[in-house]
Amino acid sequence: MKRIMLVCSSGSSTSLLVKKMQEAAQKKGLTDVEIVATSQAEAKNHYDDTDVLLLGPQVRYLYNELKKTLAGKKIALDVINSKDYGTMNGEAVLEQALKLAEKKGEGE
């Protein structure tokens, strides 16, 4: 099971994107993917069961801090593409997350 966590300021703006990503996963027949949204304040409570952490563009400033925090943990980290986020392109963001998970699994 791959767990993808989307993080934004409050967790509410990423909720719609999560739905779109879940729909895309369903269309692809992916049953081993769990996608959740949370606020930046709550994110730390979910590190232990997360494989991919994607930051909303509005909290991209957290990237360097999180990179240090997550060092040594097997969590892939990236910022969601602004265009994909703005258009709520769940399929593209899901692909981004799956590629990150694959790279992390290869030991990057």
Return mean pLDDT, the chain.
92
> Tens of pLDDT along 24-73?
999 999 999 999 999 989 999 999 999 999 999 999 999 999 999 999 89
Domain covering 2-105 in this structure, CATH number: 3.40.50.2300
Asked about 8 being catalytic, the answer comes back as: yes
Residue 11 has pLDDT above 90, yes or no: no
Would you kindly state where each structural domain of the chain is located, as residue ranges? 2-105
41 sits in which H/E element: helix 40-43
Q: Are 90 and 23 in contact (CB under 8 A)?
A: yes
Catalytic residue, chosen from 8, 55, 98, 101, is: 8
